[in-house]
Structure 1
Amino acid sequence: MQFQTKALYNFLRFTSCHNKSSRVKKWQIEDLRVLKEKKLFENLKNLNLNMDKEYFLKYANEVDSPEELVDLLAGEKEGESKDQIYLVLFELYRRFLSEKRCISIFADELDHRIFLYDTNQLYNDELLQNSLANLKNILDSNVDFGVDQKEAFKSLLQYLAHDLENFLFDYISDQIDAKNKVYALELIDGFYPYISKNLWFDFLKAKLKALDDISSSNEIIEKILSHLKLKPNLDLQFRILKFMVGLGDRKIFMKTLKQAAEHLKKEEELKSILNILAEFYLRLDRDDLEKKILDIIDQRSKIKSDQALKKQDIDAILQIVS
């Protein structure tokens, strides 16, 4: 998927926060939100676009988005020069014309709030909740105009730096962990028709159900496993295993483990499943089996994580749990 311009530079800035060695230019990752108005106009002047607030507003009010504005004021520019101008004009547009609704401004604000949430800097969760409510309204409006639900969601992703579907999963999971049951259910039901990873959201339904009705939760997990048998997904199977550790249901845990074991390819995957298995036996107070698993982990400690597995490696684990 190709990013729209603002989403691309947001992506560079967000990833540079986690990877300080990334090779990017300062202007590409600068947080313009923290700059004063005077500095922003100075930046434009240094880019050979001399204007003040009055001049800016005169032209900004003639267009419906910062993208249209940069075409109007710097249409002859190309490459990095145009992108630098665009980023400054975007920030000014965001500050002075926030009442104008356009998708890039909305997506930028959603990206910003997701970043703050992920980095534990969002001090008012209501801001993010408002953005998600607006997101749902935008998607619903597109559907009202005849756009397919999943296409409506997919078309929005080009404006976002974050993986929206993964974020929604993690955020809803956090709501369930915090026992915000009503809001979690609202988000699951609201976004379920739009997302593509429906099995992951089915897992969220199971996790939510487990707060009140373990039996119903297990039924959902069983249905998910039936789908995964036809189309395996190790990441989801690992999530289910970790979830089942907490519930302590041996039957479903072992069924999931054996199903996942059939598709292990690398040493790191085997070690992941061994650690989950050790945790499961610890919860069941099976110290003998926990020790066996920990011994295997210790014996394999020097094996490289990307080394391919042999069938006997997996068989040895299955023999312990059989």
Structure 2
Amino acid sequence: MLKQMTRYLTQREAQRLDEQLMSSVYGFSIDQLMELAGLSVAAAVGKQFPSAAVASTSNAAGGGYNRVLVVAGPGNNGGDALVAARHLVYFGYSPSILYPKRSAKPLFEGLVAQCEQLKIPFIERIQDASAVDAAYDLILDGIFGFSFSGSIRPPFDHVVGTLQKCQTPIVSIDIPSGWHVEKGNEDGVGLEPQMLVSLSAPKLCAKHFTGPGKVHYVGGRFVPKSLAEEFNLKLPEYPGVEQCVERPSRGHHYVLHRDNTYIVCCAQQGSSQNEVEGIRAVNRCPTYHGCAVPMMAVVRSLAPCTCLLQGNWPIVIAMRLHLEARLF
């Protein structure tokens, strides 16, 4: 069976969940949660937007998202971004950190010191969208979290306005910056990222995170089972040692990748092992004609892919071509 319907958290529920995690019952500290969250974010980035180093040591398609602009806000979401930047260095990326409004709290000063020890450059401002696109391969948005409300104030109004015009892919931590935690980007003033990494559990605004090419991960393996049951979270299953899992999109999308002399057709990974993990057509034989094999679920139609799977050499040139195939 497929996983039960996702449970989305309101702003108050998200606050209560954090309060419970840091209560005497569960014993987490804010810096511990920040560390776990940042690691989950970095792991999700590594899976979806691999650096050349990650791609060379795994089966990840593509690669080359080496230069990452990490945009950190003044609150806990910014702390998650600083932690993620540190882990990205160890994953083979070259991050730079835009941190225009620094926190004076010792926790954040420590996170900055850790990044400085790794020689991660800090920048004070960005010029325009074209300059950002030329300098970076990926943007990590850690400006505002689920506590955000009201209008975007300086200096972040300029930052968000500039990032909105960028062509570089954006990954948002927990909440796309500028979004209402429950209503989404209702005023159109927030970012429209290509990827969202929900922490602990998806917030209500994630219901509005839809559209072609959108990718949604959840990182919350640290939530105790008893607390997940108390909040009725319906968290995904985390296979192996994974720190994050990709949620299936509405109307599952499949991505065709070229790899030397064979074609691999991979579904976006589901949130449990019972959901669709992929379909593959792998050719290491020159006489192979191409096929699609459902591994974990039945696929109704691959009609859009038919022409690409015909012939003796079914090779797809586009690395990130999305073709839709819906589940029963």
Structure with greater strand share of residues: 2
TM over 0.5: no
State the structure with more CA Rg.
Answer: 1
Q: TM-score, normalised by structure 1?
A: 0.30
Given the two structures, how large is their TM-score scaled by the length of structure 2?
0.29
